[in-house]
Amino acid sequence: MLWNDNHYEEKTNNPTDEDIHTRVEQLRQQANAAVGAKKYTQACELYTQAIQLAPCAILYANRALARTKMEEYGYAYMDACKSIEWDPKYPKGYYRRAVANFALGKYKAALEDFKKVLQLVPHDADAMAKKKECERRIREQAFAKAIDSDAVKPLSLFETMDYHSIVVEDSYQGPRWEQEENISESFCYELIEYLRNQGKLHKKYLIKLLVYAKRYFDQLDNIVTYQVKESGITVCGDTHGQFYDLLNIFQLNGYPSCDNPYLFNGDFVDRGSFSVEVIVTLLTFVCYDPLCMLLNRGNHESKNMNKIYGFEGEVKAKYNETIYSLFAELFESLPLGHLLIGNEKGMRKQVLVIHGGLFSRDGVLLEDLQRLDRHREPDQGLMAELLWSDPQKEWGWGISKRGIGVSFGPDVTRRFLDANQIALLVRSHEMKEKGYEVEAENRLITVFSAPNYCDQMGNLGAYIRFSSTLEPQFYTFAQVAHPNIPPMAYASSGLGSMGLV
């Protein structure tokens, strides 16, 4: 950035209380060091202590950056607004707010703030680039809205796609799927090894895979009922394109089969730079045996998230725009949850597995979720809350730290589960230090399966083994090595990372 930060002394240097100023300065430097060490939760706590002593534009803007790093865009937005209130001429306040709005897909609001930055700091190259990116996104949204109107409803790409005519070159060294029946077991293992060695499934077989998978998903309910067998089931959380950690799960827990089924609870893609390999592997097992691989949709199985966090860019780099469009359409066919059915002492027991969380009101029943139109972007209503919400320790409801969905308390969890005769809610959506967390009087579990998230968070990954009685057993694991391609290698340039002060 080109601007200078000279507002701190003006706002916090009170000559009558030098001790407070000294303490705030210490806290600010400690918080900045925590951001540098990627300890963002600690940084937020330190900035909060400083703000309680002497609030100012810089402290709020710095905390907004830390919260952006934790994907808490709702909180980052509020901090940026506070920064602007304290100093309407502080460019980084507008910049932080623009980045938060951009991450939430609110491109028009982001554009206005990037324009404000350029008024305060003319010719800043970073702000100019992000302004242009916002303008491009706004044009894309307008075009998409135009072609999605009732008058001009486009055909599904799946209805017009003919993979039969695509020629597979003799030079292709990967596994081949020429027959019309389901994928064989040997194909699954050959493909995994081919992908492990950074091979790329031929586009003919990838398109065929997407066609077969979508045909299957379109038959399913929004909330799929699954009877857990004697052998049990493994539930995994976010994998976020960490393909080599996905393979490690299979190494530790066994490959998917009819006697070793898996449920992956959304956010297969984005951030990690091997998202194509993750989703191709999961879909391959679906097409081998759909009862050995169950998938739920996450908030990152959506166009806006894919555009920002890398999956769209990765698919276009490894294949082309048409194949990305097929993925985007396929994601809209994914079910929103699974209701696991087991028996404990002869009594029916139910566990609901969904990606995000619960709702902004009581009284929501499974029947209401079954009636939702899931073939769309999850940007409003019950579907957005199901994919975006997070639990909180306090009772009742709170503002979403993400800017979408809500925060819901243990009492909200209890009332929803009791109303639907469900014993336990399992969700993902949040990184946890040990890979999982149990809360809400042991009736809510968060599971997260991307260890050392984005190669920087230092967390463990976890998965849950459920027995036929639906008793959970937790397993944790650390990150394994992967090829030297960093996370976010294909991500949008619209998320800035401005320096701290």
**C-alpha span between 13 and 15 (Å, rounded):** 6
* Same domain, yes or no: 370 and 469: yes
Which of 234, 238, 235, 236 minimizes the C-alpha distance to 431? 238
- Mean pLDDT score of the chain: 93
pLDDT bracket for residue 10 (50, 70, 90): very low
pLDDT class of 140 with cuts at 50, 70, 90: confident
Burial class (CB in 10 A: 0-12, 13-18, 19+), 36: exposed
Whole-number pLDDT of residue 1: 44
Task: Give the list of residues 6+ apart from residue 345 with CB closer than 8 angstroms, or none.
Answer: none
Q: How many residues does the chain have?
A: 501
Which residues does residue 225 pair with via DSSP β-bridges, in sequence order? 339
Residues 238 and 356 in one domain: yes
In a domain, 176, yes or no: no
Q: Is 255:248 a contact under the CB 8 Å cutoff?
A: no
Average pLDDT over residues 11-32: 81
375 is catalytic: no
pLDDT digit string, tens, across residues 216-253: 999 999 999 999 999 999 999 999 999 999 999 999 99
Rounded to whole angstroms, how far apart are CA atoms 9 and 434?
40
Looking up residue 52, the CATH number of its domain turns out to be: 1.25.40.10
Chain segment 142-155, per-residue pLDDT in tens = 877 776 655 556 67
Count of domains observed in the chain? 2
Q: What pLDDT score does 149 carry?
A: 57
- Report the first-to-last Cα separation within the chain, whole angstroms: 11
DSSP label at residue 332? T
- Flag whether 121 is in a domain: yes
Please determine, for residue 9, whether its predicted confidence score (pLDDT) is greater than 50. no
Q: What does the H/E/C string look like for 411-428?
A: HHHHHHHHHCCCCEEEEC
Whether residues 135 and 213 fall in one domain: no
Of the residues 124, 147, 170, which one is the last residue of a structural domain? Answer: 147
Q: Is residue 360 part of a domain?
A: yes
Last residue of a domain, one of 147, 178, 195: 147
In this structure, what are the phi and psi dihedrals at residue 296, rounded to the nearest 5 degrees?
A: -110, 150
Which domain covers residue 346, as residue numbers?
Answer: 206-477
Residue 105 confidence class, pLDDT cut points 50, 70, 90: confident
Statement to judge: residues 440 and 328 lie in one domain: yes
* 57 and 138 belong to one structural domain: yes
496 in a structural domain: no
Say which residue the tokens 């394994």 belong to. Answer: 480
Catalytic residue, candidates 7, 21, 240, 300:
300
Range name among 95-109, 135-149, 184-198 with the lowest pLDDT average: 135-149
Q: Does any domain span residue 437?
A: yes
Is the distance from CB of 383 to CB of 370 less than 8 angstroms? no
Same structural domain, 441 and 370: yes
pLDDT value of residue 141 = 80
Residue 11 has pLDDT above 80, yes or no: no
Residue that finishes a domain, picked among 97, 113, 147:
147
Clarify whether residues 142 and 226 are in a common domain: no
DSSP 253-299: H---BTTB-EEEES--SSSSTTHHHHHHHHHHHHHH-TTTEEEE--T
**Residue 79 and residue 93 in contact, taking contact as beta carbons nearer than 8 Å:** no
Do 140 and 258 fall within a single domain? Answer: no
* Ramachandran assignment for 421, one of left (phi > 0), alpha (psi -120 to 50 degrees), beta (any other): left
Residue 298 has pLDDT above 80, yes or no: yes
pTM above 0.85, yes or no: yes
Let me know if residue 174 belongs to a domain: no
Instruction: Report the pLDDT averaged over residues 368-386.
Output: 96
Q: What is the mean pLDDT of residues 287-307?
A: 96
Check residue 38 and give its pLDDT. Answer: 84
Q: Can you tell me the mean pLDDT for 100-115?
A: 93
In a domain, 411, yes or no: yes
Section 335-349 average pLDDT = 94
User: Within this chain, do residues 283 and 368 fall inside the same structural domain, yes or no?
Assistant: yes
What distance in Å separates the CA atoms of residue 307 and residue 141, rounded to the nearest whole number? 12
**Nearby residues of 91 by Cβ (< 8 Å), 6 or more positions away:** 1, 3, 116, 117, 120, 121, 124
Which tokens belong to 45?
């706590």
Question: What are the two backbone dihedrals, phi and then psi, of residue 103, each rounded to the nearest 5 degrees?
Answer: -65, -30
Does 38 fall in a domain?
yes
Tell which wins on pLDDT, 359 or 162: 359
Q: Are residues 307 and 390 in the same domain?
A: yes
287 and 415, same domain (yes or no): yes
Nearest of 380, 382, 400 to residue 390 by alpha carbon: 400
CATH number at residue 274: 3.60.21.10
Mean pLDDT score, 97-125 = 94
The vertex-37 CA angle with 33 and 39, nearest 5°, equals 95
215 plus 91 within the same structural domain:
no
Judged against a pLDDT cut of 80, whether residue 8 lies above it is answered with: no
